[in-house]
Amino acid sequence: MLKLEPRPEASRFWGIASPLLALVITVVLGAILFVVLGKDPVKALQVFFWEPISSGYRIGELLVKATPLLIIALGLAVCFRSNVWNIGAEGQFVIGAVAAGGVALLAGKDTSRLIVIAILLAGVLGGMAWAGLTAFLRDKFNANEILVSLMLVYVGTLVLNYLVIGPWKDPQGYNFPQTKTFEAVTQIPKLIAGSRVNIGVLIALAGVAALWVFLFRTRAGFAQQVGGLAPAAARYAGFSSRKALWTALLISGGAAGLAGALEVAGPLGQLTPYVPAGYGFAAIIVAFVGRLHPVGMVFSAILMSMFYIGGELAQSRLGLPKSLTGVFQGLLLFTLLACDTLMVYRLRFLPAAAPAKA
């Protein structure tokens, strides 16, 4: 018989091993799923986990996908460590993209290259403003930030659709719902010739270092985490829970908005209804698989981007639905939640009870 027994304290070993075990279980379940769908599981898993890194160009595409996931996850980590549940990073990503796109549309042939800075700043401010709505409603009316931030995702998407179908629609775009292609001067500088990898990768890595310093080497970061783990102790120490709420949501919204700006002024080059790519939701999984640690989230962002690219390849090569990407993301999250049980509980084998004698 098996029995779950509470541990005296959380296991540090399983804190690291749990995501790895969750990944193994996800791969096994994925192989079973491929067999059920009538596909060769070895070939299908190769498409998901080998093809995305099989050439220099594909590694570049992997980094393009991982960059927004990592940037958004870094901001979400601040929220979740502060016990503020921002589920609406997708909406902040969209509004950041809209704000950045609005600045990019102002550019002309003679515009200075420095407009890239204004585009990125507009994205940050747009994301912060959208997250600020959630902070305001939570602060003033005690509204649930989970519901508010999630509902604002759909409002943000409607704002985007209104603009690309209405005022910002390209008059020479053959009636497609999209803006005109941004001027070349607004494009985010690329790092590698012949690849779509841009300076967003460096910005993401700088964000990793900045978040590590903020969380583990500053008083403000310590106050954020204390407020999340022990609100009563935070109040006793003089830390403001109100300030922590605003700080967490504004940082998170700014990071999501920055990711949106990098996306529209980088790989996309214009605003379309397809700007919402699900990065804001996938970044939640990235944050938790990475254990809300800046370094851990680098690896989980790369893993999640492999799911995105693997799903696209599986669709084109194996005839599988694109929704398979979401299936793998969901499997990874649920298996992680299940494996995390081993952090606070241990499995104990109990011998079967001997039969009673007559």
Quick: pLDDT tens for 288-313.
999 999 999 999 999 999 999 988 88
- How large is the average pLDDT for residues 57-84? 95
**Mean pLDDT taken over the chain:** 92
Quick: pLDDT tens for 90-123.
999 999 999 999 999 999 888 999 999 999 999 9
**What Rg value do the Cα atoms of the chain yield, rounded?**
23
Quick: pLDDT tens for 184-237.
999 999 998 888 999 999 999 999 999 999 999 999 999 888 877 777 777 788
Residue type, 143: A
- How large is the average pLDDT for residues 54-62? 89
Asked whether the predicted pLDDT for residue 66 surpasses 80, the reply is: yes
Contact present, 325 and 281 (Cβ < 8 Å): no
The pLDDT value recorded for residue 357 is 64
Cβ count within 10 A of residue 48: 21
Alpha carbon separation from 256 to 69, 173, 324 (Å, rounded): 9, 29, 25
Asked whether the predicted pLDDT for residue 149 surpasses 70, the reply is: yes
Quick: pLDDT tens for 273-283.
999 999 999 99
Tokens linked to 294: 């800046």
Q: How far apart are CA 107 and CA 123, in angstroms?
A: 16
**Segment 114-119 long-range contacts (CB within 8 Å, at least 24 positions apart):** 115/185, 115/186, 116/185, 116/186, 116/187, 116/188, 116/189, 116/265, 119/186, 119/261, 119/265
Asked whether the predicted pLDDT for residue 73 surpasses 90, the reply is: yes
Percent of the chain with pLDDT over 90: 70
